[in-house]
C-alpha cells in the first residue's frame, strides 16, 4: 500500500514543480486579484499555495490513473483470508 501512495504522490511533485515554474514565469503574484480586490498575500504565500494546489491536482490525476489501471482480478479479489471467506466470495 505504501508503494501505491508513492505512485500517486511522487509523480505529482515534479509535475507541480514544472507547473509552478510555467505559471509564475507568466503571472506576477503581487498583481493577483479576487473579485476585483487584491489578494494582499505575500509573494511567498502565493507561491506556496500555488505549489500545493498544483501538487494536489497532479496527485489527484495520478490517483485516478492508479485506480483505473487495476486489473479485474484485483478489483474482484476477496479481501478475507481463505479460512474466513463467506459463501460466494471469489477465490
Tens of pLDDT, residues 23-35: 999 999 988 899 9
Q: Which of helix, strand or coil describes residue 37?
A: strand
Domain that holds residue 10: 2-84
pTM over the 0.85 mark: no
- In-domain check, residue 58: yes
Sign of the torsion formed by the C-alpha atoms of 47, 48, 54 and 58: positive
- In-domain check, residue 26: yes
Q: How far apart are alpha carbons 83 and 79 in whole angstroms?
A: 12
Tens of pLDDT, residues 20-77: 999 999 999 988 899 989 888 999 999 999 999 999 999 999 999 988 888 888 887 7
- In-domain check, residue 67: yes
- In-domain check, residue 21: yes
Residue 89 neighbours by CB under 8 Å, 6+ apart? 78, 80
- In-domain check, residue 89: no
Domains held by the chain: number: 1
- In-domain check, residue 91: no
Amino acid at each position: 500500500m505504501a508503494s501505491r501512495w508513492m505512485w500517486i504522490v511522487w509523480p505529482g511533485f515534479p509535475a507541480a514543480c514544472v507547473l509552478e515554474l510555467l505559471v509564475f514565469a507568466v503571472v506576477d503574484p503581487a498583481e493577483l486579484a479576487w473579485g476585483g480586490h487584491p489578494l494582499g498575500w505575500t509573494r511567498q504565500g502565493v507561491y506556496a499555495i500555488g505549489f500545493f494546489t498544483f501538487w494536489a491536482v497532479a496527485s489527484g490525476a495520478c490517483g485516478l490513473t492508479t485506480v483505473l489501471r487495476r486489473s479485474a482480478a484485483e478489483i474482484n479479489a476477496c479481501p478475507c483470508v481463505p479460512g474466513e471467506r463467506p459463501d460466494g466470495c471469489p477465490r
